[in-house]
Amino acid sequence: MTDERAPFAVRVTPWVLLIGGAIGLLAALVLTVEKIKLLKDFSYIPTCSINPVLSCGSIMKTPQAELFGFPNPLLGIVGFTVVMTTGVAVLSGAWLPRWYWLGLQAGAALGVVFVHWLMLQSLYVIGALCPYCMVVWAVTIAVFWYTTLRNLHKGRTLLRYHSVVLVLWYAAIAAAVLQAFWSYWKTLV
């Protein structure tokens, strides 16, 4: 299938990878810097600690923030670098073999499972949200979704409604955030 004949959702995938990878990498770098500052001074208040709900500092001090024994954003630095590089390579005309795309799919799938676990931990165990982490959540979902669409480009129905699925996915997360912190949000009104 030539690029001109590929469905829009497949043609836009390299851009999603490039832009999403860059945004995710930036968020992971900022989170890493904030974590280093917090490790140097445990009383440091991260820039993303805005109020009782939007509070990176309270999340960074939990075991969930270092699930594998090191700060989670380090995974983002590596993963988003690969994603961004893939987007650049494809946009510059590189042909990547099927095994590469399947490897990217596996990485994106692990990433999306991990961020959903982190969402559940943030919403229902820790009781706080990290704005930079939420950026990573959004980007990881988009990278996973468009990588999946690119790898399954035969499914015309999914391709036709690619953005609808993504909007519904984000809406479900927004509803979960509203529900989890409803007692706080209603005090702001």
| CATH code for position 73 | 1.20.1440.130
Q: What is the CA radius of gyration of the chain?
A: 18
pLDDT at 2: 41
Q: Which domain holds residue 56?
A: 8-185
The answer to the question of residue 2 being in a domain is no
| Euclidean distance between CA atoms 167 and 20, whole angstroms | 16
**Between residues 135 and 188, which one has the greater pLDDT?**
135
Domain count of the chain? 1
Q: What mean pLDDT value characterizes the chain?
A: 92
Per-residue pLDDT band at 183 (split at 50, 70, 90) = confident
> From CA 138, how far away is CA 23, in angstroms rounded?
10
Collect all residues with Cβ–Cβ distance below 8 Å to 81 and sequence separation of at least 6.
Answer: 21, 25
Instruction: Tell me whether residue 173 is in a domain.
Output: yes
The residue that leads in pLDDT, 155 or 118, is 118
Q: Which of 8 and 125 is assigned the larger pLDDT?
A: 125
Contact yes or no for 83/24 (Cβ under 8 A): yes
Q: Does residue 131 belong to any structural domain of this protein? A: yes
More confident residue, 7 or 55: 55
Assess contact for 18 and 87: CB atoms under 8 A: yes
pLDDT band at 155 (very low <50, low <70, confident <90, very high): low
Residue 1 has pLDDT above 50, yes or no: no
- Count the helix, strand and coil residues of the chain and give each as a percent rounded to the nearest 5: 75, 0, 25
**107 has pLDDT over 90:** yes
**Residue 159: phi, psi to the nearest 5?**
-65, -35
Q: Does residue 102 lie within any of the structural domains?
A: yes
Asked whether residue 3 is domain-assigned, the answer is no
Q: Is residue 87 part of a domain?
A: yes
Please tell me the predicted confidence (pLDDT) of residue 52: 85
**Confidence check: pLDDT of 185 > 80:** no
Q: Whole-prediction pTM value?
A: 0.91
